[in-house]
Amino acid sequence: MPNRLPLRNSLAVVVLMSGALLTGSVPLANPHVRSLGSMLMCQCGCGASITECNMQNCHSSGPVREELLKMVEAGMSDEQILATFEREYGKVILRQPPATGFYLISWIMPFAGLGAGLALLWLILRRYLGPRPAAASASAAAAPDSPDLARYRERIEKDMADTDPDSK
């Protein structure tokens, strides 16, 4: 038994040391790299962030993760890191477009489209479910009878009288 205790202790030390070494060399083991990587879009076309891209041997996320880890370890600020990636890849690498200039349209258009759709729906419902104008029905009732209409009414009354069994 006494021989096993030092062996267990040495194995525990080896496991802890290898874990500590891996956190410095594996980009996704660093929480700061993961948080910054979630702000950057993978350029392979998968639509995921740099940290969420699970494409095997991705040509984009792997090198960007490594570069991101180097920048974090060099002590660069978040703004400097994001500005560096934006300069290198363009604004397409940012998952959230900036709310300035032309990119402001991407923030405004969904709400403007929703508002326009609701306004159009309101107008349609108001037109079809609203009250009918009273002027149209009053003018139809007050319209003078034409001679043809009077003749047709007389004919209808005569035919109704001929078919009514009580009138005979």
* pLDDT score recorded for residue 139: 53
Q: What is the pLDDT of residue 23?
A: 46
pTM value surpassing 0.85:
no
Tell me what pLDDT residue 91 has: 83
**Number of structural domains in the chain:** 2
- pLDDT tens digits for range 89-104: 888 888 877 777 777 8
pLDDT score for 28: 73
Residue-number span of the structural domain to which 28 is assigned: 4-96
Nearest to 67 by CA among 30, 27, 39: 27
Cβ neighbour number for residue 155 with a 10 Å cutoff: 10
Q: Give me the pLDDT at residue 57, please.
A: 82
Inter-residue contact 64 to 19 (CB < 8 Å) = no
Residues 60 and 113 reside in one and the same domain: no
Low-confidence ranges of the chain (pLDDT < 70): 1-5, 7-9, 11-27, 133-144, 164-168
Regarding whether 103 and 56 lie in a shared domain, the answer is: no
29 and 90 within one domain: yes
Q: Are residues 92 and 37 in the same domain?
A: yes
- Rounded CA-CA distance 158/150 in Å is 12
31 and 106 belong to one structural domain: no
User: In this structure, is residue 138 part of a structural domain?
Assistant: no
CA distance to 16, 56, 64, 96, per residue, from 22 (Å): 10, 20, 18, 31
Q: In this predicted structure, what is the pLDDT of residue 140? A: 56
What pLDDT, on a 0 to 100 scale, did the predictor assign at position 35? 86
